[in-house]
Amino acid sequence: MAFRACGLCKGLKEEEAADVEIVIQVHERLYKYLVYKMTCHYISNHGYVPCPDFVDAILHGEIVEIIKVRTNGTELPSEYVPWYENHDYSPIGYLVGEYNVGEVDQEVLSKLNELMVNAEGASKEE
């Protein structure tokens, strides 16, 4: 079990979730996101607002694929996020520098939370 500090809380949190790849279809287009494991925590505790296209996709999109990734916790985002960006994934929740703060619809948060949890359950093969 890995432990990871939330850089904003400066506290240690038990981390069982992993980052999640989401491929989602919305408005007849496919969007690919790499969602950081702490994203729901950032939304509920730090007022983080993900980019509008992601919020829209979560609310109105149809999930094509959702895969739990990066379970070992040893790689830093700076090492693996560029690979995803090169493969057309938009990173979500990797708070680097400034980020948008505001209100996020409770429905977005609960849907996203459910997705993250379901992805967790879907890949317990190890």
Angle, alpha carbons 34-13-78 (nearest 5°): 35
User: How close are the terminal C-alpha atoms of the chain, in Å?
Assistant: 13
CB of 113 to Zn ion, least distance (A): 15
Q: Quick check: 95 binds Zn ion (CB under 5 A)? A: no
Separation between Cα atoms, residue 114 and residue 106, nearest integer Å: 12
Binding-residue total with Zn ion (CB under 5 A): 4
Separation between Cα atoms, residue 73 and residue 65, nearest integer Å: 22
The answer to whether the beta carbons of residues 35 and 19 sit under 8 Å apart is yes
Q: Quick check: 30 binds Zn ion (CB under 5 A)? A: no
CB of 6 to Zn ion, least distance (A): 3
User: In the set 2, 5, 9, 30, which binds Zn ion (CB under 5 A)?
Assistant: 9
User: In the set 6, 63, 95, 109, which binds Zn ion (CB under 5 A)?
Assistant: 6
Residue 47 identity: G
Judged by CB under 5 A, which stretch of 1-9, 27-35, 68-76, 101-109 contacts Zn ion? 1-9
Q: Which residues of the chain form contacts with Zn ion (CB under 5 A)? A: 6, 8-9, 45
